Amino acid sequence: QVQLVESGGGLVQAGGSLRLSCAASGITFSINTMAWYRQAPGKQREWVARLTGSGSPNYADSAKGRFTISRDNAKNTLFLQMNGLKTEDTAVYYCNTFPRPAGAWGQGTQVTVSS
């Protein structure tokens, strides 16, 4: 059974930073491309950043130059370092496999950026 547990969100002022973590179980983490997604109020969930098992990253335009995705395959953990946060980054952030989510989504972690 796939289990994804996101953490690290919070309230931060514009320009600030947060580091999100995602603990994964029930999947062969090291071989999967993992991604961070987010869903803002009233909007569809969107992909933000992804990272192959071998460490090749790719970012949505909104995240380029500000966010850094990384992973610790030994600990089945995915990270997202977010710098230069903007109010438009406010959303619930989720992790999952890419391109197709594996099983149910986790509860996500709320990121709120104030102006």
pLDDT at 103: 80
Letter for the amino acid at 30?
S
Question: 63-110, pLDDT tens digit by residue?
Answer: 999 999 999 999 999 999 999 999 999 999 999 999 999 988 999 999
Q: What is the pLDDT of residue 24?
A: 96
Paired tokens of 81: 């370092």
CA distances from 28 to 24, 41, 58, 75, 77 (A): 9, 32, 20, 12, 12
Whole-number percent of the chain with pLDDT over 70: 100
**Which residues are paired to 113 by β-bridges?**
12
The Cβ-side half-sphere exposure at 52, using a 13 Å CA radius, reads 5
Phi, psi of 39 (to 5 degrees): -135, 115
